[in-house]
Amino acid sequence: MSFRRNRASISVMRFLLAAILTAGIFFASSQAAELSPSDQTIRILERWTSAHWGQDCFVWVVHYPEELAEPWAEAEAVRAGMSETERERFRENFVSELKLDTSETFLVSVYSFGARPVNLSPVKDSVSLLAATGERIKPSRYDSSLDNPSAGVVQGLVFFPKQSNKDYVIGIKGLGRNERIFSFAPPETPSPSEPPKSDVVVVDVPKRQTRRPAPVVPAKKPAPVPPPPPAIPPRPITPIFREESSDMAGFVQSVRERGSISRDNPASSPPPPQTPRSSPPNTDNSYSSRETVLRRFLNLWAEGNYGGMYDMLSDGSKRALSRENFAKEAGKASDIRAGIKGGDFRIDWLGEERAKVITVRKTLVFRSVSSRTLGITREGSSWRVVW
């Protein structure tokens, strides 16, 4: 009778442990499903980032998969307060400019700190996509900046033909004697924070011992000598991009125009943040300065008041653009509007009647600079904005 009771107790324990573990897995899975768009974006980028040390250099490769577009656009929309139309336009530009629907897009960054700069030229022969079939695929397109050896950081986009099988790696020659292989976690591989999916959990409970074993007294050993702390490698420089247009085309253009980045180059530093200043109620007379009128125009842009912006345009701009077409053009520049709305912008005057508005976008993985040049002209007793 005692033996049957013990077996029943063990069965109950197994059932309870299995139920607890299953509930824990379900809770963790539900927590993972509730990740914010920013966390989803970071998780995807971490899975598709690989780095290696080379000879007097550090190289990291980031792949932009197509699945990145939706959470990235959602995270940017939440951060910048975009409307649904602006968010969808941002996502479409992201996919189009990085060619995510037709190519496998990679950002290759080389940080050279030796006496000789790293030379990957020609990139079409030194950078390859190694497919699961063993085929070596050359780039279909790449940024020419990677062909120019330079000290500091050199970055460029590399495009390969679209692959149906994501089990591939990137091989780069010229970083040492042997080719460096940059591998990535496949999409189906769960990250450490995601427990493996399982419907049934079986826990083996050890059999009950009738006798307690005699304690074993371990022999005294000398205290172990702690190993020396591992050397901490220098932290790689975060990629910085300079964007010169009002849409995602600037992201691609920024990498192409950047070339090398010098720590002592002041041009690579973002402009100091400024806060929009409120304009006086009467801004349409000769006593209002041109900068006051321009700042009022920018405040309306930050608020998404395209009708108010149109009323401040010059007669020539109104003849060239209807009210509806102007609203569409101003709405496309969601990155500049986000920078103005956040107060991260500055105004550089390019003479008496031209001004360059420079904004800073602080996204999840990089900081970019966008700009828009506007004209200011006197019409009668007031200043007007030339779009």
Residue 49 pLDDT > 90, yes or no?
yes
pLDDT digits (tens, 9 = 90+) for 298-351: 999 988 899 999 999 999 999 999 999 999 888 888 778 877 887 778 888 888
Provide the 10 A C-beta neighbour count for residue 200: 6
Burial of 161-195, coded b for 16+ CB within 10 Å and e otherwise, reads: eeeeeeebebbbebbeeeebebebeeeeeeeeeee
* pLDDT (0 to 100) of residue 386: 92
- CA–CA dist 292, 285 (Å, integer): 11
Q: Is the pLDDT of residue 373 over 80?
A: yes
pLDDT at residue 211 greater than cutoff 50: yes
Fold of 271-386: Nuclear Transport Factor 2; Chain: A, (3.10.450)
Spell out the residues 6+ positions from residue 100 whose beta carbon is closer than 8 angstroms to its own. Answer: 64, 65, 66, 68, 69, 94
HSE-up (13 A, CA, CB side) for residue 353 = 10
pLDDT of 159 above 50: yes
Structure tokens at 330: 């101003």
The two three-digit tokens of residue 229, written as one number: 């702390």
Residue 41 has pLDDT above 70, yes or no: yes
DSSP state of 24: H
Please compute the mean of the pLDDT values over residues 243-268 and round it to a whole number: 47
Structure tokens at 163: 């692959």
CB atoms under 10 Å from CB of 275, counted, come to 9
pLDDT of residue 335: 73
Element (H, E) at 339: helix 334-342
| Paired tokens of 349 | 């005057």
The pLDDT mean for the chain works out to 74
Residues 37-182, CATH architecture: Sandwich (2.60)
The rounded distance, in Å, linking the Cα atoms of 12 and 153 is 62
Whether 187 has a pLDDT exceeding 70, the answer reads no
Question: CA 72 to CA 87: how far, in whole Å?
Answer: 10
**Domain(s) of CATH 3.10.450.50: residues in the chain:** 271-386
Sheet architecture: strand order including 180-182: 136-137, 127-130, 169-172, 180-182
Over the range 318-327, which residues count as b (16 or more CB within 10 Å of their CB) and which as e?
A: eeebeeeebb
Domain(s) of CATH 2.60.40: residues in the chain: 37-182
Query: Residue 376's closest CA among 308, 293, 283?
Result: 293
Cβ within 8 Å of residue 85, ≥6 positions away:
331
Question: What is the bridge-based pairing of β-strands 152-161 and 141-142?
Answer: antiparallel
pLDDT tens-digit profile of 161-176? 999 998 999 999 988 8
Confidence of residue 83 (pLDDT cuts 50, 70, 90): confident
